[in-house]
Amino acid sequence: MTYTDEMTPKERMQAILQGKEVDRLLVSPLILNFASRSLNMTVREFCTSGKNMGNANIACFKQYRHDIVYIFSTTSTLAEAMGTKIHFPEDDAPQVETPLIQTREDLQKLKPVNPEKDGRLPVYLEAVKRCVDAIGNDVFIVPVIGAPFTTSAALRGTEKFIKELYTDPELVHTLMKVTTQSVKNLIDAYVKAGGVPVTVEPVATGSMISERHFREFVLPYLKEVYSHIHSYNLPGVLHICGKTKRVIKCMAESGADILSIDNIDLLEAKELVGEKVCLMGNVSPADGMLKGNPEVITAMVRECIAKASDNPKGYVVATGCEVPIKTSHENMVAFLGAGRRFAQLPINLN
Amino acid sequence: MQADKQDILNRLAQAVINMDITRANEIAAEVIRCKIDPYEAIMDGLAKGMDKVNELFENEEYFVPEILLCADAMYAGIEVLRPYLPKEGTWNKKKVVIGVVKGDTHDIGKNLVKIMLDNAGFEMHDLGRNVPYAKFIDTAGELKADLVCLSTLMTTTMDGMQVVIEDLKKAGITSSVMVGGGPISPGFAKNIGADGYAKNVAVAVKVAKSLFQDVHLPLTFKTPEFVSVRKNRGGVR
């Protein structure tokens, strides 16, 4: 038995945001570089051309009808636009090669981005516009921005940067202020292009830093970001992968309305922050999407829904982190099929 | 005198725990002045401090920045003591080749495991990040390595671990293999034929030790390159 949708993804999202009745929960695997597969492109071809990035996402949406279309290649895109050198593997996500800030003197090179000109931001903007034009009536187009701490780490080099939480907090704050302004500039540009920007802050994961450092160096800037997003009457989404148990309460204080989480039990997350925020997650990208089979994935999706569909502030069925590019078509179909089946409202897991 | 010595060793350990490079330097100099055995100062002072750091990490009181800074302090102390160590071989140490597999440049996790295994008495050979599969095979073969440690944070590169394990076998190299990193699960580790799976840095030492009957304590220590950037920058609280 296949489950067909009654509403378009956009109608569903709008109804949820307005507190109206919907057919089912949102089902949103984090399809990012995976979208390149829909037009048989390499990741490099995909993420270095706005035309390719847009067209691949359009084709991917037509193929899967997932509830949110993300525009993304790497969390370091904003740092790249500010001057960090990036390496583009043939068929994998781009990675930081040489951070901009090698010495304290290099801080003078820092300035907030101009999204129309700097780095690959024009590529992203073109991709957003193409998607909005082609499929924007059916689905929200959601460009993903590396949040201030993650962008700062990519500007300085993560290992140096996190040591400087102790040894040079002033440098950290200097970086955070400029990257926060960059994030805000980029939000403005994406909104203007018709997108609904969200932010990801994986370097601030609980696998990396303590709650104390999160409160001191991450939270104030995230608050600024979400209050800026809210000024457009848009919802704030915060994604942090890795272990988040230690920092999830701080995440919920950031002003974000939806927390996209990875390595934490959804029951625990619901208990800790469910009264405050909508949760999103967390089928395993590696054990589920990449290495699992349709049966395994169906069971994982079902379990997530069983745990979190009654979250007081809502729940979005998703993967914990990016869908691996080598995920099979069958596994993606299984995820979406299980989502559509078990997330029908009222929830019935049989 | 005996009490003084214990006091100095304790303060050495504390300097490591406090991430205090300046104090580690000073107390290491005191070790030399007081004619305390530098090897003992490393084992019962600096390394003991680092053991405590590992424990604090396991209990989620310390996180990645803390470990990196504690390691800086430990290596700073070792640098002061090194010239006074007896020039003995490293005949008993288990040799470990470690690296991040090809396609991935995320190396913080690998660096932490290297620090902790070094501290636990293994002889570390770090191949760095984005390491071609053949490099693991060649190095493990040349060194007759006891253990090969493979790390990755990305789902796109995790399959490379299996390639390395298969190629090691094909080349007739009998090194054990330990794997770890964000997307790696015990099931995956088992499926690809790894001998050990380290869920995190704290566990890595236990797993590595469990793979060998008797691990001998180190006689000399290596200072990793990345420590030098912060030398003598003063302690931090």
Helix count and strand count (H, E) for chain A: 14, 9
Instruction: With CA atoms as reference, report the closest residue to B63 among B76, B72, B54.
Output: B54
Euclidean distance between CA atoms B80 and A79, whole angstroms? 38
Q: Does A322 touch chain B (CB under 8 A)?
A: yes
Q: Which fold has domain A28-281?
A: TIM Barrel (3.20.20)
Q: Which of residues 143-162 of A touch B (CB under 8 A)?
A: 158-160, 162
Number of alpha carbons in the 13 Å side-chain half-sphere of residue A77: 26
| Nearest residue, CB atoms, B65 vs list A163, A325, A326 | A163
Q: Does A69 touch chain B (CB under 8 A)?
A: no
Instruction: With CA atoms as reference, report the closest residue to A83 among A120, A53, A49, A116.
Output: A120
Residue A275 to chain B, least CA–CA distance (Å)? 26
Domains of chain B: 2-87 (1.10.1240.10), 95-210 (3.40.50.280)
Q: Strand pairing partners for A143?
A: A71
Radius of gyration (C-alpha) of chain A in whole angstroms = 19
Number of alpha carbons in the 13 Å side-chain half-sphere of residue A224: 18
| Nearest residue, CB atoms, B60 vs list A242, A246, A286 | A246
Euclidean distance between CA atoms B98 and A225, whole angstroms? 39
pLDDT (tens digit per residue) in A300-337? 999 999 999 999 999 999 999 999 999 999 999 999 99
Gap between the terminal Cα atoms of chain A = 13
pLDDT at A167: 96
**Residue type at A176 in one-letter notation:** M
pTM reported for the whole predicted model: 0.90
Which residues, including other chains, have CB under 8 Å from residue A134's CB and lie 6 or more apart?
A54, A58
Q: Which of residues 108-127 of B touch A (CB under 8 A)?
A: 108, 111
Average pLDDT by stretches of 10, chain B with 237 residues: 83 97 96 93 93 92 94 94 73 89 90 90 93 96 96 91 96 95 92 93 89 57 43 38
Cβ-in-10-Å burial (0-12, 13-18, 19+) of A242 comes to: buried
Contact yes or no for B63 and A210 at CB 8 A: yes
Which residues, including other chains, have CB under 8 Å from residue B57's CB and lie 6 or more apart?
B63, B66, B67, B201, B202
Other Cβ atoms closer than 10 A to B186: 11
Euclidean distance between CA atoms B102 and A222, whole angstroms? 34
What value does the mean pLDDT of chain A take?
96
Instruction: With CA atoms as reference, report the closest residue to A57 among A136, A115, A117, A147.
Output: A136
Complex ipTM, two decimals? 0.91
What 3-state DSSP class applies to B3? helix
pLDDT at B134: 96
Q: B201 versus A222: which is more confidently predicted?
A: A222
pLDDT (tens digit per residue) in A164-219? 999 999 999 999 999 999 999 999 999 999 999 999 999 999 989 999 999 999 99
Question: For residue A256, which phi and psi values (nearest 5 degrees)?
Answer: -65, 140
Q: Does B163 touch chain A (CB under 8 A)?
A: no
Across residues A39-49, what is the average pLDDT?
A: 98
Euclidean distance between CA atoms B231 and B233, whole angstroms? 5
pLDDT (tens digit per residue) in A127-147? 999 999 999 999 999 999 999
